[in-house]
């Protein structure tokens, strides 16, 4: 387990108040916490963040929780009650960053919108992540990551031609929004050093996905071309595909660099394709992608995956295979780069993903696993000056 220390970390001294649930908002504050920010997470009394009950549970709590909520403090607070809202205002007065991913208008209905909170703390930076953003005709519609992935254009491109669209397998729309949100927070913190003022950051799930869509729009604008799903291939970039091996597994080969392509063709015994002037550059190869893929597939079908990987390494051709969780936790490269760490949690020791990005002088850290529900309520509220008697009164009324 990594020893917890915030000394010298990039975000040391930055206080983050998290008012969000599930994925997009909490993932953003997780990233901030890994680099030294103090993160106080507000959860509903009694039930907590629904993520606590998602996917596989151990001792009644999601294992995902110990990734998503590591390094955080948990307090319980009923945000629908005036007394709970008043505590939020007191916390905001001391915060640098507020992260929230409620449906637009929810915080305003509680008297906790940007206009109100900015008056309390003009230096506040407020990250707001929602399905469609804080403005526009769709702002009031509910939106999860899956909907953002669909509207952003990603779902149409996944899967195989003529088959139903498939999901990526993880909540990529939420996570992309978190990354954009963290970029926004860091930019706002930098700008605040000059102006002394905070600002709000508006991140929409669909826009975060849309921002990854490469040349989708200019291709449509210039040629009327609508990009379609292409299975495991990378349309317009050849060869780059997955190929079946003789043991039934698959190998991924990216031979789309001009010199790499020639080395690959020589390796598979097809120098005729490597020396063909039509295929000297990617645009020519892409016009004959089926021919080239078939030649590569004929070669891989005669060999095992391990032999193919070794041969491609020797020829300096980028190659790999789809890793499972079992592959990841025992891979020497993952281990050498500390991408698998063990953290002590209330459910016992657990292996979890390491911290990204990797800073040479002030790297991030994992101090603790996810907190138990309300674990830090008394400490945080005592820090605001609430006496034990006041806290017990709030607890008796279900506000904490």
Query: What spatial distance separates the first Cα and last Cα of the chain, rounded to whole Å?
Result: 31
- Burial (0-12, 13-18, 19+ Cβ within 10 Å), 221: exposed
- 174 assigned to active site: yes
How far apart are alpha carbons 394 and 183 in whole angstroms? 37
Residue with tokens 């945080």: 380
Choosing from 174, 247, 283, 307, the catalytic residue is: 174
Instruction: Show Cβ contacts of residue 39 under 8 Å, excluding neighbours closer than 6 positions.
Output: 16, 18, 29, 30, 32, 33, 71, 72, 73
Contact criterion met (CB below 8 Å) for 110 and 83: no
How far apart are alpha carbons 65 and 58 in whole angstroms? 10
Beta bridge partners of 361: none
How far apart are alpha carbons 240 and 181 in whole angstroms? 32
Give all strands of the β-sheet with 250-254 in edge-to-edge order. Answer: 240-244, 250-254, 319-320
Contact criterion met (CB below 8 Å) for 134 and 126: no
Q: How far is CA 317 from CA 255, 261, 275, 281, 332, in A?
A: 6, 8, 17, 16, 20
Task: Give the side-chain half-sphere CA count within 13 A for 172.
Answer: 16
Cis previous bond, 366, omega within 30 = no
User: Catalytic residue numbers?
Assistant: 174
């Amino acid at each position: 387990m990594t020893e917890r220390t915030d000394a010298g970390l990039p975000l040391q001294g930055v206080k983050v108040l998290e008012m969000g649930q599930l994925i997009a908002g909490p993932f953003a504050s997780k990233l901030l916490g890994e680099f030294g920010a103090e993160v106080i997470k507000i959860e509903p009394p009694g039930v907590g963040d629904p993520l606590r009950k998602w996917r596989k549970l151990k001792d009644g709590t999601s294992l995902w929780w110990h990734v998503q909520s590591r390094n955080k403090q948990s307090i319980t607070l009923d945000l629908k009650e005036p007394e709970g809202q008043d505590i939020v205002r007191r916390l905001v007065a001391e915060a640098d960053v507020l992260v929230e991913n409620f449906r637009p208008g929810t915080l305003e209905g509680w008297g906790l919108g940007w206009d109100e909170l900015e008056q309390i703390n003009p230096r506040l930076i407020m990250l707001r992540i929602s399905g469609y953003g804080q403005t526009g005709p769709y702002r009031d519609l509910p939106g999860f990551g899956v909907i953002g992935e669909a509207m952003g254009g990603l779902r149409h491109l996944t899967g195989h031609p003529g088959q139903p669209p498939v999901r990526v397998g993880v909540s990529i729309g939420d996570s992309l929004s978190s990354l954009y949100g963290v970029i926004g927070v860091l930019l706002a913190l930098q700008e605040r050093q000059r102006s002394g003022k905070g600002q709000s950051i508006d991140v929409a799930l669909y826009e975060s996905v849309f921002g990854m869509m490469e040349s989708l729009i200019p291709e449509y604008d210039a040629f009327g071309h609508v990009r379609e799903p292409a299975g495991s291939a990378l349309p317009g970039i050849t060869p780059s595909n997955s190929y079946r091996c003789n043991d039934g597994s698959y190998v991924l080969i990216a031979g789309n660099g001009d010199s790499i392509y020639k080395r690959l063709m020589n390796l598979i015994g097809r120098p005729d394709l490597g020396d063909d002037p039509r295929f000297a550059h990617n645009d020519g190869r892409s016009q004959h992608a089926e021919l080239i893929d078939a030649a590569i597939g004929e070669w891989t079908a005669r060999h095992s995956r391990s032999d193919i990987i070794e041969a491609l390494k020797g020829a300096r051709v980028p190659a790999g295979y789809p890793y499972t969780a079992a592959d990841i936790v025992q891979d020497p490269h993952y281990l050498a780069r500390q991408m698998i760490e063990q953290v002590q949690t209330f459910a016992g020791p657990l292996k979890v993903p390491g911290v990204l990005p990797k800073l040479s002088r002030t790297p991030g850290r994992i101090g603790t696993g996810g907190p138990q529900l309300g674990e830090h309520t008394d400490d945080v509220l005592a820090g605001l000056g609430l006496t034990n008697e006041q806290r017990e009164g709030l607890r008796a009324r279900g506000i904490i």
